[in-house]
């Protein structure tokens, strides 16, 4: 299992939202690269990054920050937020982003997802952002009415290799992750699964590790100190 400490970008700053609410944003650093250095210092090999402005509007205002982070670190970077065209995806892949994540585009444009998978299958992940069993898009603002079970069937048919599963109701809430969701997805999906949303204690990483998931994303718990990366790294591989 890989540990993915997370950086969410808004206005070139590292921030966290509560349950995807842009009105409930906490700024943790004006210099995201300093946070990346802390990831490295604590033995991390991977990181997760989201362009929140891109996720909400489809327009990236943080490209220069993302490019600088890619230039300055050897960490494996997976990036999501507003990637809704081949041009956007390949722009990030061309600067060395290791994996790009499709959320809204994966739901709304199956043809584009299939085309992108055809060209870059191993470098593509799909975000399954779920609230009350239903997939949401546009920075978690829009309910699609699509049940997660039906979405999983579509992803299997397209041979998607990596799925990042987030229970939106748990994200940033520091009240525990949805282990039952990941257990269900293990039965439904053929892809590698990365757990996200609400992981707030080292014991939860132990449980996720026991499920043999591909990875786990640590967000707010890193910034509050509830999970120390020096301890989390023990669950890598």
SS3 217: strand
Q: Which entry of 30, 51, 109, 129 is annotated as an active-site residue?
A: 129
Cβ pair 47, 4 in contact under 8 A: yes
With CA atoms as reference, report the closest residue to 235 among 2, 74, 73.
2
Is 129 catalytic? The answer is yes
How many CB atoms lie under 10 A from the CB of residue 180?
A: 9
Is 8 catalytic? The answer is yes
Provide the CA 119 distance to its chain's centre, in angstroms: 21
CA gap 131, 143 in Å, rounded: 8
With CA atoms as reference, report the closest residue to 5 among 37, 46, 42.
46
Q: How many residues are given for the chain?
A: 237
Cβ pair 42, 27 in contact under 8 A: no
**Distances in Å between the alpha carbon of 183 and those of 159, 165, 195, 199, 211?**
20, 11, 11, 15, 7
Token pair, residue 79, equals 């990036």
Q: Which entry of 8, 51, 167, 171 is annotated as an active-site residue?
A: 8
Backbone angles phi, psi at 20, to 5 degrees: 75, 10
Cβ pair 88, 62 in contact under 8 A: no
With CA atoms as reference, report the closest residue to 160 among 112, 138, 192.
192
Which residues participate in catalysis according to the annotation? 8, 129
């Amino acid at each position: 299992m890989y540990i993915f400490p997370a950086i969410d970008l808004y206005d070139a700053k590292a921030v966290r939202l509560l349950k995807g609410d842009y009105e409930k944003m906490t700024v943790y650093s004006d210099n995201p690269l300093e946070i990346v250095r802390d990831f490295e210092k604590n033995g991390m090999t991977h990181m997760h990054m989201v362009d929140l402005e891109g996720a909400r509007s489809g327009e990236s205002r943080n490209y220069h920050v993302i490019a600088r982070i890619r230039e300055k670190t050897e960490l494996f970077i997976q990036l999501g937020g507003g990637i809704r065209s081949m041009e956007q995806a390949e722009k990030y892949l061309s600067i060395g982003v290791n994996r790009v994540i499709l959320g809204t585009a994966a739901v709304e444009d199956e043809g584009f997802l299939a085309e992108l998978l055809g060209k870059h299958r191993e470098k593509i992940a799909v975000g399954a952002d779920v609230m009350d069993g239903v997939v949401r898009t546009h920075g978690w603002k829009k309910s699609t009415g699509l049940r997660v079970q039906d979405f999983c069937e579509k992803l299997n048919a397209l041979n998607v290799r990596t799925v990042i599963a987030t229970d939106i109701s748990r994200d940033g809430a520091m009240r525990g992750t949805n282990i039952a969701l990941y257990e269900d997805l293990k039965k439904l999906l053929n892809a590698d699964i990365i757990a996200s949303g609400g992981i707030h204690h080292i014991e939860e990483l132990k449980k996720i590790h026991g499920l043999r998931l591909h990875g786990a994303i640590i967000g707010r718990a890193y910034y509050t100190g509830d999970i120390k990366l020096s301890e989390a790294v023990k669950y890598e591989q």
